[in-house]
Chains A and B, each alone.
Chain A
């Protein structure tokens, strides 16, 4: 199935959460790569193709906003789902304007919902 071949990049500095997401997505048959900050994510994206980017906003070295800014037009080739504890409406509007496909407030979004959204992407 095409779905199982999707390559997902998780950009999340909280290792335990990144690992939990990684396991759930791998269990669904996705190929998963982890990056712990924005710069690491951009380096990975420069060298390989990803279908979905799960992007945290607050991270060391380079945050999620900067990643979206650097990705620019590339966001049309990668489905970027922003996951954040920031729940301000302005943050949502800002990331969607920068090319993110969806914005999920972590506290309102069970991990199973994220997996479902990745499957649908």
Chain B
């Protein structure tokens, strides 16, 4: 499932994923994604989540996702134009599997990450205990004040000079149990 409100980018991502032999459900808003999750016969193996959506931000989306035990175990890749430490921390604490900056990755590289998520889902079906663990992280959600303040985000400004690597992932976050 791809959740991205820039429709041209959504189309490009969707096309690339389909060329990689993945079935895709494309969503241009957070509410659309939640509506589809409620109605899909089979849940997606992974979610590509743009942080800034026109109807909600990534944090709100993750909070809804994690409140539903059936959705809580779906691995989420957060793709954003900015990544303040607080924003990354909050998303990973809510259960996002990885958080990356758009500027640091080519589309091909992000597709490869999604491919890995999908492969992991295929090789390890999620036991009920794992779902409960994911859901449990909601209780430890930190304060989200200042999360959307892009002006304080220095990582975005210097991202081009940095080596290409994830901003962080769930394994780096001591608050997140994977």
Complex alpha-carbon distance, A38 and B18, angstroms: 17
Residues of B near A58 (CB, < 8 A) are 11
Complex alpha-carbon distance, A94 and B60, angstroms: 35
With both beta carbons as reference points, the residue of chain A lying nearest to B54 in the complex is identified as A107
Among A17-25, A47-55, A64-72, the stretch that binds chain B is A17-25
Question: Which of A16, A19, A60, A107 is B29 in contact with, Cβ under 8 Å?
Answer: A107
Residues of B near A105 (CB, < 8 A) are 28
B23 within 8 Å of A (CB atoms): yes
Min distance, Cβ B115 to any Cβ of chain A, angstroms:
17
Among B35-43, B91-99, B122-130, B153-161, the stretch that binds chain A is B35-43
The answer on a CB contact under 8 Å between A20 and B32 is no
The answer on a CB contact under 8 Å between A85 and B7 is yes
Question: Which of A13, A16, A85, A106 is B44 in contact with, Cβ under 8 Å?
Answer: A16
Residues of A near B32 (CB, < 8 A) are 106-108
Q: Interface on chain A toward B: helix, strand, loop, or mixed SS?
A: helix
The answer on a CB contact under 8 Å between B28 and A85 is yes
Which of A13, A15, A20, A105 gathers most chain B CB within 10 Å?
A: A20
Residues of B near A110 (CB, < 8 A) are 35
Q: A85-B28, A107-B32, A110-B35 are in contact. Are A16 and B41 (CB under 8 A)?
A: yes
Min distance, Cβ B62 to any Cβ of chain A, angstroms:
19
Which of A13, A105, A107, A108 gathers most chain B CB within 10 Å?
A: A107
- Residues in B1-60 with C-beta less than 8 Å from chain A: 5, 7, 10-11, 18, 23-29, 31-32, 35-36, 39-42, 44, 55
**Given A19-B40, A85-B11, A107-B55, list of 13 further CB < 8 A pairs?**
A14-B24, A14-B25, A14-B26, A16-B25, A19-B41, A19-B42, A20-B41, A85-B27, A86-B7, A105-B28, A106-B32, A107-B27, A108-B32
